[in-house]
Amino acid sequence: MRTISGIVYDISGRRPIEAVMVYSKFSRTQTDSLGRYLITIQAKDSLAFSLFGKNTQKFGLDEIEDFSNFNIMIHVTGFDLPDVSVRNSYYKYDSILNRMDYAKYFNYEPPGLKLSSQQNFFGNGGITIGFDLDEVINMFRFKRSRNLQFLQNRLVRQEQEKYINYRFTKRFVQKLTKLDGPRLDVFMEYCKPSYPTLALLNDLELGYFIQQKLIQFKQGR
């Protein structure tokens, strides 16, 4: 039995990669947030690394010179790359147009008492102390205020839902999980992140999030 440790980097050799699967025939682990791993393998076993289903070659013990510092770089060869579709970023473009078209709803603020910029009770050099009459009137227009607030909330929810659907796609989840059919649909609903959660994750972190949810999903069934 030998214990092997090291760091997994991207192809540049400078950026450590989190959540890379490190495995042998009888054991497995994952790299931490700093790209580090520690694994124990048997004498005639070999070591391999996997990132989102893309596997490296296997390394036998006789190929490893330094068991406490076996660092590697993950490289996906050209023929392993997924198909890429070149297109405009319609989501961002649509979002900008949407906010322009519905600016009065996105920017709506509930009415409150505000000082008027028009009234001056102390002459030209005096101090403005009058309340804005439009704001006072709007405070008593409860139905209008309620409707505007409702529209604002609905537009924000719609925009957040579009953002989730833009990043959390069935194709991306299927490539990571290898699920398909009704089981994939159930997992998509189970795994779907909230907008605040997704806004904090980059694509690599989103992939790790999905993998962890897949483990929980399988354990619960």
Instruction: Please list the residues that pair with 9 across neighbouring strands.
Output: 16, 73
Query: Strands 59-60 and 2-9: what pairing?
Result: unpaired
pLDDT over 70 at 85, yes or no: no
pLDDT over 70 at 177, yes or no: yes
Residues 184 and 177: beta-carbon distance below 8 Å:
yes
Q: State both tokens at 108.
A: 């709506």
CA 1 to chain centre: 39
* Angle (CA) 165 188 194, round 5°: 55
Q: Which residue, 176, 200, 202, is CA-closest to 191? A: 176
Please say whether the dihedral angle defined by the alpha carbons of residues 88, 90, 91 and 95, taken in this order, is positive or negative: positive
Question: Does domain 2-80 correspond to CATH entry 3.30.465.10?
Answer: no
CATH 2.60.40.1120 intervals, the chain: 2-80
pLDDT over 80 at 97, yes or no: no
Residues 208 and 51: beta-carbon distance below 8 Å:
no
* Between residues 139 and 1, the one the model is more confident about: 1
* Between residues 61 and 94, the one the model is more confident about: 61
Torsion over CA of 186, 187, 189 and 193, rounded to 10 degrees? Answer: 180
Q: State both tokens at 133.
A: 């009459």
Rounded Cα gap, residues 4 and 67, in angstroms:
5
* Between residues 180 and 158, the one the model is more confident about: 180
Per-residue pLDDT band at 73 (split at 50, 70, 90):
confident
pLDDT above 90 as % of the chain: 20
